[in-house]
Chains A and B, each alone.
Chain A
Amino acid sequence: MTDKQLQQPLLEATGVSKRFGAVVALHDAALRLRPGEIVALMGANGAGKSTFVKILTGALRRDTGQIRIRGADTNFSSPAQARKSGLIPVYQEPSLIPDLDMADNLRLGQTPVEPFRHWVSELGIANLRLDDTINSLPLATLRILDLARALASEPEVLLLDEMTAALPTDLVERVLRTVRAQADKGQAVIYISHRFAEIAQICDCATVLRDGATVGDLPIVPGVEEQVVELMLGVALETNPTRKTGAARAASGGAHVQVRNLAVGTKLRDVSLDLHRGEVLGVVALEGQGQDELFEALAGMIRPTGGKIVIDDAAVSFAHPADAIARGLTFVPGNRADGLLMQRSVHENIALPLLARPRKWGAISMKAEASRVNDAIARLQIDTRAMGEVQRLSGGNQQKVTIGRWIAAGVDTLLLFDPTRGIDVRTKRQIYLLVRELAAQGASVLYYTSELAEVPAACDRVVVIFNGKVVDVIEAAEADEQTLMRAAYGLTGEALTA
């Protein structure tokens, strides 16, 4: 540690500020990175993290402050310049060109091919063809390819933005190990993640942003999580809201939504589940086990090839999402951009489901609409600094809009697909509370999550899907990460015989 401190910082940012019109996104952001160090950059929603990242990587220009690389002042005006100085980012959305094949993408970035191949196999992808077109590959593979491409150009500073989101667990392990090994060889890494477990595993220290300023720089030691969260939120975090027990579930009568032997093509093979009123039913599965198809079938986006869906004892079939919505099933997609009108206002987005009701044809009562919308905004604590277009909100706030619009409309059955992907702790917590509150009001919620740790916080029960089949149903109280992980990998008796 001491000789690390003696070394000159590889990258040092001080007093960085940036404003967009009247909104101050950053006013005093700072970051110091020494060779061989992995620094976690943390901050709640709207703390200015993405703005800071954009400034560091040359996608935005700062208003004031200094960024020094090896002691020399820099002011990047484009990502290309940042790359030249050895700072290579891997963004949350892969920056590979979708219509070109991998070989062309490498040529475009002037990435050497052999090191790239080395890193691809190091990161656990065996059968890569360089002539595969990018848009034919799954998201998880793309993120690995993006990382391999970054590593192959031997960056001095690697910036990883939510690198492990959307990755299956085995690849996450590989990525973490590889990144740590690179740091031990002297590379510096800025690591952005909402997963404390990963940060504890590989990071040396955490730099915490709050309201546009760096508020802390903590070495990672056991138990530092609470401190980081406190710094991020400004308050201590209490845990675990109320949860519905099995007895209460039985008291609520028959299941509200029954799914029986549902099948869609080859992905979803045989899923049966009961969703009660007032219940949050978790769904846990590794990437691509049929969960996408399950949700899309329930939302009326695709037609099942087998089995049936029963709502309040009546079998239903959906030809269009409107049919599902009419039966009270509302789907909140994992990809926020799929569910929102990005160029329209927060108000319009929240009001849209109100307008789209066929029976509400004709004039819209603006007054009633405005009060319901404002109500929803207040309940969700949506940050209204960027009150204009939804696309100007931060990711977490966008996610709140996707949920909030259905709350304003009144919700019966909510299908949430990975609502907390890539958003911060504070917003996550608001979403859990919101989901619990909805359930308390009698709504049924089906809640898919890729983050196992949040299951006990948000759900009553959880079904585990493996290879298109339900392999386990676990009470949330017993659903610790290990149990869920074993089930998700099909390591239970039922799956082994299947």
Chain B
Amino acid sequence: MSRIVARHGWTLGLMAILVLLFVFTKVIQPNFGLTGLDSLSRATLPFAFATAAMAIVVIAGGIDLSVASMMAVAGVTAAVLMEGAGTGMTLFTVVAVLVIGLGMGAINGALIVVTRVPDIVVTLAMLFVWEGVALLILKAPGGAATPWLREIIVGPFLVPWLPRSFVFLVVCLAVVWIPLRRSRLGLSIYAIGSDELAAYRSGIAIGRTRIIAYALCGLFAAMGGLTLTLSTGNGEPIPGPYLMASVAAVVLGGVVLGGGKGALLGPIIAVFILRLVRMDLTLISVDPNVTTIVEGTIMVVVVMIGGVLAMRGRRQ
């Protein structure tokens, strides 16, 4: 039991913070209720997918600065293809967008592996490339989302307090993550992030594993772009603030920059915490500029606490 607590201490702590924040929200805004929960969940959705995308490459020991741009490409592609589309076309669009996401990610990964240019440089360059691609597809906000598909992330699911958008998020992440975590591929992703030389010597194909990790990042980014189009109803070619938000959530979620540690649950809880903090700061009418300062401070403090805990652990 104590082992479980020790191993998942960080995630449990995040969970406790999230609960406290909900309580705090209810105190300062007594009429925060089911609609508030629903809109929070829906607003968090693209952030959550961006975070999942970032988490997977950070676990693999890399980083992807082009996450928000890939989301924009996926979002505008969906908006253009879905404009006036029927059921068949809509389903085709969903599949196509996900495949495009995988492709974009794989291109990022392949460039890193083949050129041996550092990931941070490659993905910074690709940030601009994907941004340009998005603008080529759609010059200004436009397109549309198929109405019945939009319904998937609006309203409650089965019970009134469970937002559909949340269920959608959990299902999408679980479908990819759970089989992955249990497979040799998933372990390989952790392995290359943890110690590349040891992984190589253990017989893991480093390059291929890295490309797959980036491809999965692209897949999650595509899901994020798709849900963004679904929730706004049109495509937006200029990338949103998802890059920095996803890095913040990944770090807060217990994934160590540098790789090998962490999982998906922590960052997803973290992304809700960060969204809720932002919402609460708005509710108590703090200047929005101060809000970003608070978010930055949280990030630094979190990394610091992580370091202190690691040092304690080593001393024992």
Show the binding face of A for B, using Cβ within 8 Å.
59, 78-80, 83, 89, 91, 93-100, 104-105, 107-110, 131
Q: Which residues of B contact A96 (CB under 8 A)?
A: 198, 202
- Given A104-B187, A108-B187, decide whether A97 and B201 contact each other with a Cβ distance below 8 A: no
Q: Which residues of B contact A95 (CB under 8 A)?
A: 197-198, 201-202
Are the C-beta atoms of A99 and B261 separated by less than 8 Å? yes
Closest A residue to B182 using CB positions: A107
Docked Cα-Cα span, A99 to B255, in Å, equals: 12
Considering only residues 166-213 of chain B, those with a C-beta below 8 Å from chain A are 184, 187-188, 190-191, 193-195, 197-205
Q: Choose one: B193, B200, B204, B261; the contact of A108 (CB below 8 Å).
A: B204
Shortest beta-carbon distance, B98 to chain A, in Å?
A: 28
Closest B residue to A94 using CB positions: B198
Q: Choose one: A89, A98, A107, A109; the contact of B195 (CB below 8 Å).
A: A98
Q: Choose one: A91, A99, A100, A110; the contact of B201 (CB below 8 Å).
A: A91
Docked Cα-Cα span, A457 to B126, in Å, equals: 60
Closest A residue to B259 using CB positions: A99
Docked Cα-Cα span, A94 to B197, in Å, equals: 10
Q: Choose one: B184, B195, B198, B200; the contact of A59 (CB below 8 Å).
A: B200
Q: Choose one: B3, B202, B204; the contact of A131 (CB below 8 Å).
A: B3
Closest B residue to A100 using CB positions: B190
Docked Cα-Cα span, A37 to B193, in Å, equals: 38
Are the C-beta atoms of B3 and A97 separated by less than 8 Å? no
Among all A-B residue pairs, the 7 with the closest Cβ atoms: A80-B203, A99-B260, A95-B201, A99-B194, A95-B198, A97-B191, A108-B187
Q: Which residues of A contact B3 (CB under 8 A)?
A: 131
Q: Which residues of B contact A94 (CB under 8 A)?
A: 198
- Given A99-B194, A131-B3, decide whether A108 and B201 contact each other with a Cβ distance below 8 A: no
A78, A89, A95: residue with the most chain B Cβ atoms closer than 10 Å: A95
Shortest beta-carbon distance, A54 to chain B, in Å?
A: 10
Shortest beta-carbon distance, B45 to chain A, in Å?
A: 30
A94, A97, A107, A108: residue with the most chain B Cβ atoms closer than 10 Å: A97
Q: What would 17 A/B residue contacts be, using CB atoms closer than 8 Å? A: A78-B203, A78-B205, A79-B201, A79-B203, A80-B203, A80-B204, A89-B201, A96-B202, A97-B191, A97-B195, A97-B202, A97-B260, A99-B195, A100-B190, A100-B191, A108-B187, A108-B191
Docked Cα-Cα span, A131 to B7, in Å, equals: 11
Are the C-beta atoms of B201 and A98 separated by less than 8 Å? no
Q: Which residues of A contact B194 (CB under 8 A)?
A: 97-100
Q: Which residues of A contact B202 (CB under 8 A)?
A: 79, 95-97, 105, 108-109
Q: Which residues of B contact A78 (CB under 8 A)?
A: 200, 203, 205
Shortest beta-carbon distance, A157 to chain B, in Å?
A: 15
Q: Which residues of B contact A107 (CB under 8 A)?
A: 184, 187
Q: Choose one: B187, B188, B200, B260; the contact of A98 (CB below 8 Å).
A: B260
Q: Which residues of B contact A98 (CB under 8 A)?
A: 194-195, 198, 260
Closest A residue to B315 using CB positions: A265
Closest A residue to B188 using CB positions: A108
Closest B residue to A81 using CB positions: B203
Are the C-beta atoms of B204 and A100 separated by less than 8 Å? no
- With A89-B201, A107-B184 given, can you name 4 additional A-B contacts, CB distance below 8 Å? A78-B203, A80-B203, A97-B260, A100-B260
Are the C-beta atoms of A100 and B187 separated by less than 8 Å? yes
Docked Cα-Cα span, A250 to B197, in Å, equals: 51
Docked Cα-Cα span, A330 to B162, in Å, equals: 64
Shortest beta-carbon distance, B60 to chain A, in Å?
A: 12
Closest A residue to B193 using CB positions: A99
Q: Which residues of A contact B197 (CB under 8 A)?
A: 93, 95
Closest A residue to B206 using CB positions: A78
Docked Cα-Cα span, A23 to B169, in Å, equals: 56
Q: Which residues of B contact A109 (CB under 8 A)?
A: 202-203
Q: Which residues of B contact A110 (CB under 8 A)?
A: 184
Closest B residue to A80 using CB positions: B203
Q: Which residues of A contact B260 (CB under 8 A)?
A: 97-100
Q: Which residues of A contact B191 (CB under 8 A)?
A: 97, 100, 108
Shortest beta-carbon distance, B204 to chain A, in Å?
A: 7
Shortest beta-carbon distance, B125 to chain A, in Å?
A: 24
Q: Which residues of A contact B188 (CB under 8 A)?
A: 108
Shortest beta-carbon distance, B272 to chain A, in Å?
A: 25
Shortest beta-carbon distance, A149 to chain B, in Å?
A: 9
Shortest beta-carbon distance, B208 to chain A, in Å?
A: 11
B3, B194, B195, B205: residue with the most chain A Cβ atoms closer than 10 Å: B195
Docked Cα-Cα span, A80 to B187, in Å, equals: 16
- Given A98-B260, A99-B260, A99-B261, decide whether A80 and B205 contact each other with a Cβ distance below 8 A: yes
Q: Which residues of A contact B193 (CB under 8 A)?
A: 99
Docked Cα-Cα span, A110 to B203, in Å, equals: 10
Q: Which residues of A contact B199 (CB under 8 A)?
A: 97
Docked Cα-Cα span, A297 to B194, in Å, equals: 30
Docked Cα-Cα span, A69 to B123, in Å, equals: 43
Closest B residue to A57 using CB positions: B201
A108, A109, A131: residue with the most chain B Cβ atoms closer than 10 Å: A108
Q: Choose one: B184, B190, B205; the contact of A97 (CB below 8 Å).
A: B190
Closest A residue to B194 using CB positions: A99
Docked Cα-Cα span, A182 to B247, in Å, equals: 50
Closest B residue to A265 using CB positions: B315
Docked Cα-Cα span, A105 to B260, in Å, equals: 13
A80, A98, A100, A107: residue with the most chain B Cβ atoms closer than 10 Å: A100
Shortest beta-carbon distance, A87 to chain B, in Å?
A: 11
